[in-house]
């Protein structure tokens, strides 16, 4: 909370400067004092909003729409204003720069909160695996991740995602963690969402760090009661394909050796791991493909280059899309919900349809030419 309050104070300083300028132009007395008072009030208000989020409390849809969402538009916009202020100063060269930067930040935050996070893409990626059995050439997986069902991501959104993923008629559906935002109040909602997923070979799920915030065993029971299988350091054989699931690393439950213990000899291996940090260790153990989430692609990124320029790149290497390490591949899902402020800029929430291709079959289709894994495409 101290770190979050510090971040909030930085953003509200930009808001105070903008408010002081606008109040001064309006003829209000003591504009700087009034601006500082407004910034202090909105900083204090953050504590209540943050506690709602951290505890995963249920709020009425009206309260979320009229109080929480507008507040976080302001909160995010004020932080963006800090980043935009140097550019505004260079362009405007007047005290109005603070107000212009704040207005631009609010506009971007409003778009990211009210529009971009609701607009879900369907991405399609084909991944060539060297050791894939030819019988699995063309095997399709619907990949969902980071649903974050909670105060800002209602059950109705999740049900739409489940219907869209099921309509792809894939062979397998997987969900790679962070099903809820926090707490246990939304366990039934997310169980309904995952239970609505349909695929020929079923639905496999792994837990994320947010899923262990409260009553994780109850969450697992609810998911499995609706037909999904939750993999917690174990796996499932699907013919010549072995799908393993790694438990949450943040709560120190992950055990890669145990997750891979039962894989059949000669089977291609897919590892579901919420955090992509486990990719190098998985590649060293001969895992063909790791499916992860956790990063949300940074959630805020440069629109034209989200893979290279996103917030998650500040502290990790694998943040979005497809990566290679020798014969192993990693796909990091952009996520569907949000964590922290309910905003997305430059990174679309997505349902990812993965098609597995046998290297030998791919070479034959290409007339003997070398094949490499394609990058995700969007319809």
Quote the pLDDT of residue 373: 40
Q: How far is residue 155 CA from its own chain's centroid?
A: 17
Q: Across the strands, what pairs with 205?
A: 175, 230
Residue with tokens 């062979």: 171
pLDDT band at 375 (very low <50, low <70, confident <90, very high): very low
Phi-psi region of 327 (alpha: psi -120 to 50; beta: other; left: phi over 0): alpha
306 with 347: CB under 8 angstroms? yes
User: What would the pLDDT profile of 354-365 be if each residue is shown by its tens digit?
Assistant: 999 998 776 766
User: What would the pLDDT profile of 105-130 be if each residue is shown by its tens digit?
Assistant: 999 999 999 999 999 999 999 999 99
236 with 260: CB under 8 angstroms? no
With a cut of 50, say whether residue 56 has pLDDT above it.
Answer: yes
d(CA 94, CA 89): 7
Mean of the pLDDT values across residues 73-97? 92
Quote the pLDDT of residue 367: 66
With a cut of 80, say whether residue 40 has pLDDT above it.
Answer: yes
Quote the pLDDT of residue 360: 75
pTM: 0.91
Quote the pLDDT of residue 374: 38
In the chain, % of residues over pLDDT 90: 83
In the chain, % of residues over pLDDT 70: 95
Q: What is the DSSP letter of 134?
A: G
Fold of the CATH domain 122-378: Purple Acid Phosphatase; chain A, domain 2 (3.60.21)
Quote the pLDDT of residue 126: 96
236 with 248: CB under 8 angstroms? no
User: What would the pLDDT profile of 270-318 be if each residue is shown by its tens digit?
Assistant: 999 999 999 999 999 999 999 999 999 999 999 889 999 999 998 899 9
209 with 195: CB under 8 angstroms? no
Domain boundaries, the chain: 2-114, 122-378
User: What would the pLDDT profile of 136-176 be if each residue is shown by its tens digit?
Assistant: 999 999 999 999 999 899 999 999 999 999 999 999 999 99
Phi-psi region of 147 (alpha: psi -120 to 50; beta: other; left: phi over 0): alpha
Quote the pLDDT of residue 74: 96
Quote the pLDDT of residue 2: 82
């Amino acid at each position: 909370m101290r770190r979050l309050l510090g971040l909030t104070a930085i953003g509200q300083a930009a808001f105070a400067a903008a408010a002081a300028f606008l109040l001064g132009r309006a003829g209000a007395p003591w504009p700087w004092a009034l601006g500082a008072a407004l910034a202090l009030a909105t900083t204090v208000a953050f504590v209540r909003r943050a506690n709602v989020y951290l505890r995963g409390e249920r709020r009425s849809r009206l309260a979320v729409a009229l109080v929480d969402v507008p507040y976080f538009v302001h909160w995010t916009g004020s932080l963006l204003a800090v980043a935009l202020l140097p550019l505004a100063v260079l362009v405007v060269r007047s005290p109005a720069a603070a107000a212009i930067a704040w207005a631009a930040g609010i506009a971007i935050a409003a778009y990211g909160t009210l529009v971009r996070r609701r607009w879900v893409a369907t991405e399609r990626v084909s991944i060539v695996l060297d050791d894939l059995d030819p019988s699995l050439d063309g095997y399709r997986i619907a990949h969902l991740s980071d649903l974050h069902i909670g105060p800002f991501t209602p059950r109705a959104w999740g049900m739409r995602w489940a219907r869209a993923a099921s309509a792809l008629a894939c062979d397998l559906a997987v969900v790679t963690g962070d099903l809820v935002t926090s707490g246990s109040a939304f366990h039934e909602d997310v169980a309904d969402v995952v239970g609505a997923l349909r695929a020929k070979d079923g639905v496999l799920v792994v837990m994320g760090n947010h899923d262990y915030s409260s009553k994780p065993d109850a969450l697992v029971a609810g998911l499995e009661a609706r037909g999904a299988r939750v993999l917690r350091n174990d796996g499932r054989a699907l013919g010549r394909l072995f799908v393993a699931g790694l438990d949450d690393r943040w709560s120190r439950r992950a055990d890669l050796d145990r997750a891979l213990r039962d894989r059949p000899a000669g089977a291609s291996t897919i590892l579901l791991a919420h955090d992509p940090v486990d990719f190098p260790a998985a590649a060293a153990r001969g895992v063909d493909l790791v499916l992860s989430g956790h990063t949300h692609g940074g959630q805020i990124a440069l629109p034209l280059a989200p893979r290279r320029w996103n917030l998650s790149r500040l502290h990790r290497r694998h943040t979005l899309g497809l990566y290679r390490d020798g014969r192993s591949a990693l796909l990091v899902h952009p996520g569907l919900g949000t964590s922290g402020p309910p905003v997305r800029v430059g990174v679309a929430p997505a349902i990812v349809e993965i098609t597995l291709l046998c290297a030998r079959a791919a070479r034959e289709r290409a007339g003997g030419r070398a094949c490499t894994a394609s990058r995700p495409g969007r319809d």
